[in-house]
Structure formats: structure tokens, C-alpha cells
């Protein structure tokens, strides 16, 4: 079976009707956010490249980085697991790559996949070659590459940590930035102006569609636009660019942020960056002035705002019986349908009404794929895997 026919088969099983040729997709991010995006785009893409942040300094990744001098492998490993082939013969391997050692010894807390990537990097002398080896083992239809070939650090200016709330303090490290009780104002990468991974640049240059986010805004999303070569390639590419917003502000780095504020912060760090669409869950921004403000912020990026149901639902008991409520996790199948609709939409057509599809038009209309009538795939079963 060809890569394109595999993508078409996966799309059909998830409720995505491939009306046009399957695209080559590049997804940028890290952690759970990137995992959700990769679990979505693999359902309709013919080839997926994950471009992953390399600034993690906590947990198993932080220990291996400090002890061996390798790029932090945790988010890279998670991306590999998200793209692993849905083959029962590979289930044990995928689970083993994700397995984390227990106990209290030297291996406690380490992920098997992190150790494999660290070992392969030492043997092959190249982190990208190590990633390609594991990708071949998991029969991935695509690649996982780091955004930079060297390990990076994140440094942030944070207000609210001093007696005078106007005074900023400089904090360093991804974990420190992600968990700060203060307000992050700006982030930087160390070393400044780091090199980009050439394979990441080539993938973006040749992509049909580029997806940025969701994820920790200051530590997983914005770092990509702080690598000069990566930003230049993102700005110049003719690929359709989609920015996926988070379902809720994150405690710590984006506490109290509105959807509009997320866009302003991104624009402050990369004024020249433009995108085509900003994808937002339909329940996260109320009708009225907030949506008007978000539309203006998106227009400054050259983008349309697209609202769609992309959040997971969870059954919960209530006085009236079972009910559903949303959790702050993207639903891979719903996100796949929304992104596929944006891929098939004509560039100059009005904003596609993703949620207003009729069954008769699902196969042909660019924005017609129905969000709520689909089946969950194996991606959700893997969603609960430990990622750090």
C-alpha cells in the first residue's frame, strides 16, 4: 500500500473524507500539544514531519541532557510514539518505547525510549540519525526531527515575583518558566540565535501544510519562532499555515491569558510571522466582543479565525444522570476533521463553517466534514501515555 493510500484509509476510518490529494504536513511543538496534533494529522496526511522543541530540562530528559550532553529526548520520543504505525505487531514496541522504569535506583523515572535515543545518538554520532532509526523500527510514515541540533535553554522575564509587581526577574529553564507563579512577559533562547536543524527547514520548505500549536505557549510554541532560520523558513513557505490555540490558559506561564492575548504574545516575539488560519475550540471564546477582539488580533497575522468543536468530552455523573463535559485535551479525531477541512478549503473562499456540514456534503465540501459524527481511533488510547 502506498503512503497516500494509507493516509486515505486512515482518513476514512476517522470520519475524514479525502476530497483532494493527501497533503504533506509539518507539525511544530512539543509535549502533549504536539502529540495531539500528530495524532490528528496522521489521519489524513500522506507524510508527517514533527519538528520538536529541545529545551526540556526536567525529569528523565533533563537528567540525560545533563549527564550525557544529548538533546533532551522526551518530547522527541513522545512524537515518535504518536506517529507509530497502528500495527498489532508493533504494539509491544510502542509500549516499550513509552515505558517508564519504577523503583528507586539509578533508572527510576527514566523512559526506555529516552535511553534508546540517547544510546543511539552516542553510537551514530547524530541525533537525527538516531531518530530515523527508531522511526524505522516503529514504521513511521514520516519523520521526527529536533528544531535545533543542539540542546537549548529558555530564559524568561517574569513579573510578580518581587515586592514591586512592576519589577521583572529573569528566570532560566523550561520547567521554571512553565511553573512560575509570576507573569511571563518575554522569553529568549540560550544560546541566542541557535542553528536550526537542516532537516526541519527542508520539511517546512516542501510542506503542503504547517501546523503550529497547541502546547505550552512560552516553552513549546514560541521557541520555534526564536530560531532565526526556522522563523525565516516559516515566513517564506507557501504551505498553508494553521495556528491551533490551547483549550484553556495554563497555570503558571499563561494564567489569565485570553485567546487574543496568546496571539499578541506570539506576534510580539515574531512580528513578521503570518498564518492563514487560527483554529479555536468553539466553546472557549464567548460570542460577542471577545470574538471581535480575537478576529482583529488574527487579522494582524493575516489569518481567519476558525471555530470548531475540537475538545475531548468526558462522561460525568450528575443529579440528572450521565452528562458530558469538556476536558482540556484536544480530541485527535475532531482535530483531524477540522484541519482536513482547512486543507481542502479554497484560499479565497469565505471562512469554512466546519460544524455546519450535512451528511450529503461531507465528501465534497471543503469545510463540510462533520465534527461530532465520527469514531475515535487508536490515537486516543495512546493519549494517556506518560510523556515526560
- The pLDDT tens digits of the residues spanning 151-181 come to 999 999 999 999 898 899 999 999 999 999 9
Contacts (Cβ under 8 Å, ≥6 apart) of 3: 46, 47, 141
Tens-place pLDDT, residues 298-353: 999 999 999 999 999 876 554 555 445 556 899 999 999 999 999 998 765 555 55
Q: What pLDDT does residue 368 have? A: 34
What's the gap between Cα 303 and its chain centre? 19
Structural domain contains residue 70: yes
Give 221's DSSP letter.
I
Confidence of residue 86 (pLDDT cuts 50, 70, 90): very high
Query: With 80 as the cut, is the pLDDT of residue 74 above it?
Result: yes
Query: How many domains is the chain partitioned into structurally?
Result: 1
The answer as to whether 387 is a domain residue is no
Domain of 192 in residue numbering reads as 3-382
Spatial distance between the Cα atoms of 177 and 30, rounded to a whole number of angstroms: 15
% of the chain at pLDDT higher than 70 = 81
* Crossing angle of the two packed helices 74-83 and 127-137, in degrees rounded to 10: 30
What pLDDT shows up at residue 352?
56
pLDDT in tens, 250-264: 887 898 999 999 999
DSSP 88: G
**Region 79-92: what's the mean pLDDT?**
96
- For residue range 91-139, what is the model confidence (pLDDT) as tens digits? 999 999 999 999 999 999 999 999 999 999 999 999 999 999 999 999 9
Contact between 296 and 305 under an 8 Å Cβ cutoff? The reply is no
Measured distance CA(15)–CA(375) in Å, rounded? 7
Phi-psi region of 84 (alpha: psi -120 to 50; beta: other; left: phi over 0): beta
Q: How many CB atoms lie within 10 A of CB 232?
A: 14
With cut-offs at 50, 70 and 90, classify the pLDDT of residue 361: very low
Nearest to 214 by CA among 44, 24, 384, 29: 29
Q: Cα–Cα distance between 28 and 34 in angstroms, integer?
A: 7
Residue 34 lies in a domain: yes
Domain membership of residue 388 (yes or no) is: no
To which H or E segment does residue 170 belong?
Answer: strand 168-172
Instruction: Say which residues have a Cβ less than 8 Å from residue 49's Cβ, sequence separation at least 6.
Output: 24, 25, 26, 27, 142, 143, 144, 145, 200, 203, 207
Closest to 53 in 3D by CA, of 90, 24, 21, 27: 27
Mean pLDDT of the chain: 86
Amino acid 287: pLDDT: 94
If one compares 366 and 35, the residue with the highest pLDDT of the two is 35
Contact yes or no for 176/216 (Cβ under 8 A): no
Identify which of 272, 258, 339 has the alpha carbon closest to the alpha carbon of residue 300.
272
Measured distance CA(52)–CA(290) in Å, rounded: 31
**Residue 259 located in a structural domain:** yes
pLDDT, residue 55, reads 98
In Å, what is the CA distance from 25 to each residue of 141, 203, 209, 211, 362? 11, 9, 5, 8, 22
Residue 59 backbone class (left: φ over 0; alpha: ψ -120 to 50; beta: rest): left
Predicted local distance difference test score (pLDDT) of residue 381: 40
> Which range among 144-153, 282-291, 308-317, 367-376 shows the weakest confidence by mean pLDDT?
367-376
Does residue 333 sit within a domain? yes
Reading phi first (left if > 0) and then psi (alpha if -120 to 50, else beta), residue 29 is in left
pLDDT band for position 385 (cuts 50, 70, 90): very low
Q: Establish if 36 belongs to a structural domain.
A: yes
- CATH number of domain containing 214: 3.40.50.10680
Q: Nearest to residue 290, comparing CAs of 264, 259, 267?
A: 259
pLDDT at residue 313, as a whole number: 81
Judge whether 10 lies within some domain: yes
Query: Is pLDDT at 18 greater than 70 in this prediction?
Result: no
Amino acid at each position: 500500500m502506498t503512503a497516500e493510500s494509507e493516509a486515505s484509509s486512515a482518513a476514512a476510518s476517522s470520519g475524514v473524507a479525502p476530497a483532494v490529494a493527501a497533503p504533506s504536513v509539518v507539525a511544530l511543538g512539543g509535549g502533549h500539544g504536539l502529540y495531539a496534533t500528530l495524532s490528528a494529522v496522521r489521519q489524513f496526511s500522506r507524510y508527517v514531519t514533527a519538528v520538536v522543541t529541545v529545551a526540556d530540562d526536567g525529569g528523565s530528559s533533563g537528567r540525560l541532557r545533563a549527564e550525557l550532553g544529548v538533546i533532551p529526548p522526551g518530547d522527541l520520543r513522545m512524537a515518535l510514539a504518536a506517529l507509530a504505525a497502528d500495527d498489532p505487531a508493533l504494539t509491544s514496541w510502542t509500549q516499550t518505547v513509552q515505558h517508564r522504569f519504577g523503583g528507586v535506583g539509578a533508572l527510576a523515572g527514566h523512559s526506555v525510549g529516552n535511553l534508546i535515543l540517547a544510546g543511539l545518538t552516542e553510537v551514530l554520532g547524530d541525533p537525527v540519525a538516531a531518530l530515523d532509526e527508531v522511526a524505522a523500527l516503529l514504521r513511521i510514515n514520516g519523520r521526527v526531527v529536533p528544531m535545533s541540533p543542539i540542546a537549548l535553554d529558555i530564559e524568561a522575564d517574569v513579573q510578580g515575583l518581587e515586592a514591586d509587581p512592576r519589577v521583572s526577574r529573569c528566570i532560566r529553564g523550561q520547567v521554571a518558566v512553565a511553573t512560575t507563579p509570576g507573569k511571563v512577559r518575554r522569553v529568549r533562547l540560550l544560546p541566542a540565535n541557535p542553528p536550526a536543524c537542516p532537516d526541519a527547514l527542508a520539511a517546512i520548505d516542501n510542506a503542503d501544510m504547517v501546523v503550529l500549536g497547541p502546547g505550552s505557549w512560552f516553552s513549546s510554541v514560541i521557541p520555534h519562532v526564536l530560531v532565526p532560520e526556522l522563523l525565516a523558513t516559516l515566513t517564506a513557505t507557501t504551505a498553508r499555515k494553521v495556528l491551533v490555540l490551547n483549550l484553556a490558559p495554563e497555570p503558571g506561564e499563561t494564567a489569565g491569558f485570553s485567546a487574543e492575548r496568546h496571539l499578541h504574545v506570539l506576534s510580539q516575539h515574531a512580528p513578521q510571522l503570518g498564518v492563514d488560519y487560527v483554529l479555536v475550540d468553539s466553546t472557549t471564546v464567548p460570542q460577542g466582543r471577545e470574538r471581535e477582539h480575537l478576529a482583529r488580533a488574527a487579522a494582524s497575522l493575516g489569518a481567519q479565525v476558525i471555530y470548531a468543536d475540537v475538545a475531548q468530552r468526558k462522561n460525568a455523573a450528575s443529579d440528572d444522570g450521565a452528562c458530558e463535559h469538556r476536558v482540556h485535551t484536544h480530541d485527535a479525531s475532531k482535530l483531524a476533521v477540522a484541519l482536513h477541512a482547512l486543507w481542502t478549503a479554497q484560499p479565497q473562499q469565505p471562512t469554512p463553517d466546519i460544524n455546519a456540514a450535512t451528511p450529503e456534503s461531507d465528501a465534497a465540501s471543503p469545510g463540510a466534514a462533520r465534527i461530532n459524527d465520527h469514531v475515535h481511533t487508536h490515537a486516543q488510547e495512546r493519549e494517556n501515555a506518560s510523556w515526560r
